[in-house]
Structure 1
Amino acid sequence: MDLTVIWAFIIAFAVFAYVVMDGFDLGIGVLFPTFAVGPERDRAMNSIAPVWDGNETWLVLGGGGLFAAFPLAYAVILPATYPLIIAMLLGLVFRGVAFEYRWRDPGHRRAWDFAFSAGSLVAALAQGMTLGALLQGIRVTGRAYAGSWWDWLTPYTLLVGLGTVAGYALLGAAWLVWKLDGAGQAHARRLARGAALATLALLGLVSLYNVALRPEYAERWLTAPTLWYALPVPVVTALAGLALLRALGRDTHAQPFFLALALFALGMAGIGVTIWPNVVPPSLTIWQAAAPHRSQVFMLVGVALTLPLILAYTAWSYWVFRGKVGGDGYH
């Protein structure tokens, strides 16, 4: 049993869980200026109030797990993306504080709403650009980052960042289609259609850019035999996108959200096909970056105990606050 591969899938699962769970509440923040001031904004906020802070548990697990299981990758990725990580954390701080204080300080609610929206946008853009910086490749010499402070800032990382913002907006709008009714749901459905089209367009552009980005990426996606393993990903993605647009054109509630989740899962699969087995493209593999075997065994015991608990309380919180958010702002 290869513990390094197991840990790679654990970290990938934690990252995916964070992206889809915190993604929809970041998406609501991105879309927040489009909601009418008053009850419409309050209902949007209340739809995520019971779960938004718990969603960020997965960020801690993903980042902490990367540090523990792949310390060399952690030591390379962070110096390469420090400005983006700092911007993301500041965005999360601003939106978290704004989320609480907009209710306790109604006299400055307009300012808190701006902080909530701006913090969400900055965090979403920074996360996407961090992914782009990783995919475009990080220069490593020996066992250390060998690039400059600004290597992360390229047209490719900006494109991936915009795609992430659009994807989060899609998740947020689809969540509101599920959780709201009446005029609020109709508004969310219109936003979801626009976000879905933008997400699919940017996903296609990023995929084409990837093929031209590095020769090994083109080889994986365009030449046999790896082509036959990779081909189902874009095909199923196109089918999921069409199903999403069709669902948004009908009187559906939960279906658009789960189809949006499927798009993110397929995007994650595409990233895996593109970079595997590297954890820091182009040259640092998961085995080169992994912690010692005994450390992996010790940490795996801890994860085996804590991960089911995290999944259980997450599922319980979503179950308790299931259903629509009513006109009074409560579930």
Structure 2
Amino acid sequence: MEAMMSSYPQDKFETNIKLEIPEIIERDSMYRLYGKNSNSNTAMGKKVSVKHYLNFKIKQNLVHVYDGEYDAIGYTNASTFPLYVQITFNRKTTTVRSATRLFLSEEEFIEKQHDVDFVEITNREIKFITFHIERLYQYSLQSFGQEYHLRKEELQRDKRVFDSLIFKYFEEKNVINGFVYSDNHIDKYIDSLLYDEILSFIKKIEKSDAETSAVSRVELLHSEYINSFIDILNSTQMRLEPLKLLTFLERRNQKYSVIRSHYSSEIWNFSIYYEILAKDTMCKYSRLGATILDFIDGDFREVFLQKFRFERKTASSILYDIEKLLHLRKII
């Protein structure tokens, strides 16, 4: 049986990102993918098509009976199938299990095409997938552009070298392979920004010390130790929790405490606040986790403030720091 594609109306998530793309690849910048019934958006001039469908190849024999929302209260004997997402970009297609983790019967799937909550949650997933692809593709274009301008003469002279560079950035690093929605939850994203901020501050501090003649030999040796430690983290792609990394650094030298002073104390515990929010079954983010797009273009701030209304000052300072991080990293 063929997978049945959803046909309910979905909001368009249009983007208008402008980058300087080398003229030599502009001729291949537009592809036409998918027609009606798809949610087609544009990412850097290329169409992104995202569809939700039931995967009939995977079967669950018992159907969850819902109480009108998403909480199972019993079972029936009908068959259900997992909700999947089909993503097509740059003539490549991949399928992933929907982060909603829903199992639905064919009848339920048809009914939910007109269910406001279901449409909202699947549209949120579609919007983030498109947003995610745009960001990764933009990064690939920027990286390609930088290398292209450095090697322009060689690349224009030798087509094989040029083709290998295209493969390096746009084939080997296929932007839609390996996508996992939960890896992009807002708590993990903010932790990664804080982690990068710590590394950035370390570089500034160590550079300042290196330019100061009054620094003792002990301090120089200590700086070498910290730098070698950071090199190990980078080379192994090891990502410590930012608060653990900061505490480790502060215990070795109080000069690193300046990093903490740039942000409110509770931003370092944002992942705990988010976990409390996401575990609340009455919260919209309990079924499909919040992403940075919900902060930029959604109602995450309002939901967060409402959840922690009895700690409004703390909640507001956390949201302020998140926005500060996003501005520093030029994300908004």
TM-score w.r.t. length of structure 1 = 0.23
Larger radius of gyration: 2
The structure where helix makes up a greater share of residues is 1
TM-score scaled by length of structure 2: 0.23
Higher strand share: 2
